[in-house]
Chains A and B, each alone.
Chain A
Amino acid sequence: MAYDNAEQLEAFRAETRKWLEENCPPSMRTPMQDDEIVWGGRNATYKNPESKIWLDRMGDKGWTAPHWPKEYGGGGLNREEVRVLEQEMRRIKARPPLFSFGLWMFGPALLEFGNHEQKLRFIPDIVKGKIRWCQGYSEPGAGSDLAGLQTRCEDKGDHYLINGQKVWTSYADKADWIFCLVRTDTSTKHEGISFILFDMKSPGVEARPIQLISGESPFCETFFTDVKVPKDQLVGKVNGGWEIAKRLLQFERSSISAGGFGGTGGSGILGPEDYAKQHIGTDESGRIADGDLRGRITDHKMFAKAFALTVQRQTEQAKAGQAVGHTASILKYAAAKMNQDRHELLIEALGTEGLGWEGEGFDKNAKKVTRQWLRSKGNSIEGGTSEINLNVIAKRVLGLKDHQ
């Protein structure tokens, strides 16, 4: 639907507002705790039953993926309508109905590189949150050098056979399906990689959670032993997976930087300046009494504001059809620094109150900050390390040359 005047767009706004009023349950208009996030999938659990109602209603309308084509279950909205929908959701403080690697990374890549049958088969279930996807990228020997991956995929005539190991597979123990990079040619590096999809229930797939420094286990080691995969589940061309892999990384990096590293911003309620005022105090003019810490908090707040303005600027420029270049890597690098600085300052401002691990004797939110501080250390590693991001900026954006 194309709008030739603002009146029609306003009519869409009125309809949307009415629909949201009628369909967004009251508890879905309150701030969301981390344990209330809905990831969907075959084994989804809902702490609050209204989360399921909200997901189903939004999913049926295709509004979990409002700009994806209707043909594949998306909302089919144009850019202006998507903006209106976002504005109207913000207006009533509606929660995002679904968190999903399918929505953020795999879906956009499949829409670009998949064939019609694959899109028909996989996209609608992403939109409705029925299938939860995980990402089979990193391997023990292939982190920053992702294209060095070794997981073998052999053509056995009527099927593919997969053997190998992935690591840092987010939520592999909870996911239903995996999109996976595999080696289909060992004689070459980048040109020997394919992009393949399979069910995590397939015989030979095993996911073992890894306990992290934060005490949590969002990542797994994932093992594949003689996993049989039907041939129609390979996306694009055999040995043509690297292009898809890179494109998907762009989607991943922009979703990481746009979302400020996932989660609901549970620790975003209080900033380091609030904790500093609370635990250190202020002088007679209202300044945080520790002048050095105050200065560093200010630096961070300014960086965060500059970051937000940059996201906004690039969004506007993209909408106006201007080239925004390789901004994903700049934002990813900046977002990692920002989130890590923020958490270091939170911990510092909390003092010993920020050094609790579990049990009584510490503020509940402070303990959460402690865990999130540890979690934030991954920000400059996941989705391309900050060092790799700086390489990308230097070479692709600034045109600096490789060593000869």
Chain B
Amino acid sequence: MSFILTEDQEMLRETAMAFARDEMPVSHLRNLRDSGANGNDPATRKKLAELGFFGVIIPDEPGGETFGLTGLGQILEAQGRTLAATPLLQTALIAASALQLGGTPAQKAEWLAKIAAGEATFALALDETAHFSPHNISTEAERDGQGFTLNGLKKYVPDGHYADMFIVVARTFGEAGDRHGISLFLVPRGAKGVTVEPLKTVDSHGAAHVNFDGVHVPESALLGPADEGADILDPVLDRAAIGMAAEMLGSAQAAFDMTLEYLNSRKQFGQLIGSFQALQHRAAKMFTELEMTRSCVAAALDAADAGKTDLAELASLAKAKAGELVHMVSNDCVQMHGGIGMTDAAEPGFYMKRARVQEALYGSASWHRDRYAKLNGF
């Protein structure tokens, strides 16, 4: 286990923190919201590509060195701090991981370079209900002679409102709920029969319902083994949960820092409110949880990079702890700011709204607690 960043990862972290602070502050998200851009931000994407952030886990040459998921985790933590809406989790983490774990040489050659260059964005079209349930897939992919025909509706697809490509989780065999019979497909946004319904979401990041109505894809669109796509999907979702946990850690840290600053400046009864013990103890408890969650996220990122066998367990630990943390901290951030916290002009509300989206995606704390218990045999 290593909790110490390499020098390169440390530099990457500093660059990402500075970029988030200077180029993607919360006011930037507010502007995107007010201008109706709905989290779709091509100008920032271009800058992220120039910094090389899309290719952090993609080696220049096959088998080459990368910053690893630990490196990407630093960037996601940085963007979490300012709630930045970027395609990094969907494209640089999920799509890059899925292609690396399950892609054919041709798929890798075509897409990994484009992802690294920021020339293609992806979205994982997974959920079909309002709750994360990754094997509960009804979207059908039927063999049609020259490939497959897809039919089904995917709900709340993050980045689905602007992504160039979808990774569609579909069923080639069995019934909803079966692990066996799931297959993954690469589907261009422009494919005939794809309808994207953009969604205005509470966190101002946006998302989309995506409908696949008789969408034909060739054999070469299959990503990973037919029927056993869960062998790719599950480890990808573990990485997604870890990446999201890193982002949540950043959001929780920023909301906590903001709260602390307020406690140290707001006066009532002639006293700084931070001098009241009731608030001091809550802050101290939040800090303890923050420190413990930081350890879980770091351990999970390292487990992914080191190919540890307890990856699933650590992924669930990190996502559940980060979920509980960001929930508590974002609520207390609003509460401790008092009336100011209820206003749209202040930032606490942005953190609380984004927190609920972060909590729901890739498994709620409750979903991951259940899995953690199962993995531990009870």
A contacts, CB < 8 Å to B: 273, 276-277, 282, 286-288, 294-295, 297-299, 301-303, 305-307, 309-310, 312-313, 316-317, 320, 322, 327, 330, 333-334, 387, 389-391, 393-395, 397-404
A390 to B292, CA, bound (A): 15
Contact B274–A400 (Cβ < 8 Å): yes
Contact B275–A309 (Cβ < 8 Å): no
A148 to B91, CA, bound (A): 61
Contact B298–A400 (Cβ < 8 Å): no
- Nearest 5 Cβ contacts at the A-B interface: A394-B280, A393-B284, A309-B295, A273-B378, A306-B292
Contact A391–B280 (Cβ < 8 Å): yes
Contact A400–B1 (Cβ < 8 Å): no
Q: Which of B283, B291, B292, B374 contacts A400 (CB 8 A)?
A: B283
A273 to B374, CA, bound (A): 11
Assuming the A-B contacts A286-B377, A390-B281, A401-B275, are A306 and B295 also in contact, with contact meaning beta carbons closer than 8 angstroms in the complex? yes
Contact B284–A313 (Cβ < 8 Å): no
Contact pattern, B 45-57, Cβ under 8 Å of A = 1, otherwise 0: 0000000000000
Contact B284–A401 (Cβ < 8 Å): no
Q: Which residues of A contact B342 (CB under 8 A)?
A: none
Contact A400–B369 (Cβ < 8 Å): no
**A to B CB contacts below 8 Å, 30 in the list:** A273-B377, A287-B378, A295-B366, A297-B378, A298-B369, A299-B369, A301-B372, A302-B317, A302-B321, A310-B292, A310-B294, A312-B295, A312-B299, A313-B3, A313-B298, A317-B3, A322-B4, A330-B287, A330-B288, A334-B292, A390-B285, A391-B277, A393-B284, A393-B288, A395-B280, A398-B287, A400-B260, A400-B275, A400-B279, A403-B276
Contact A298–B295 (Cβ < 8 Å): no
Q: Which residues of B contact A399 (CB under 8 A)?
A: 260, 264
Most chain B C-beta atoms within 10 Å of own C-beta, residue among A273, A282, A390: A390
Contact B264–A400 (Cβ < 8 Å): yes
A256 to B110, CA, bound (A): 56
A277 to B285, CA, bound (A): 32
Contact A390–B284 (Cβ < 8 Å): yes
Contact A305–B317 (Cβ < 8 Å): yes
Q: Which residues of B contact A288 (CB under 8 A)?
A: 373, 378
B1-44 residues with Cβ-Cβ distance < 8 A to A are: 1-4
Contact B283–A394 (Cβ < 8 Å): yes
Assuming the A-B contacts A298-B373, A316-B2, are A404 and B275 also in contact, with contact meaning beta carbons closer than 8 angstroms in the complex? yes
Contact pattern, B 362-378, Cβ under 8 Å of A = 1, otherwise 0: 00001001101110111
> Chain A interface secondary structure, helix, strand, loop or mixed?
helix
Assuming the A-B contacts A297-B378, A390-B281, A394-B284, are A403 and B296 also in contact, with contact meaning beta carbons closer than 8 angstroms in the complex? no
A48 to B115, CA, bound (A): 66
Contact B296–A309 (Cβ < 8 Å): yes
**A328–chain B nearest beta-carbon distance, Å:** 12
Tell whether B232 is near chain A: CB-to-CB under 8 Å: no
A287 to B263, CA, bound (A): 44
Contact A401–B274 (Cβ < 8 Å): yes
Q: Which of B288, B374, B378 contacts A276 (CB 8 A)?
A: B378
**A81–chain B nearest beta-carbon distance, Å:** 21
Contact A401–B295 (Cβ < 8 Å): no
Contact A394–B292 (Cβ < 8 Å): no
Assuming the A-B contacts A298-B369, A309-B299, are A333 and B288 also in contact, with contact meaning beta carbons closer than 8 angstroms in the complex? yes
Contact A303–B373 (Cβ < 8 Å): no
Contact B369–A295 (Cβ < 8 Å): yes
**B290–chain A nearest beta-carbon distance, Å:** 10
**A125–chain B nearest beta-carbon distance, Å:** 38
Contact A390–B280 (Cβ < 8 Å): yes
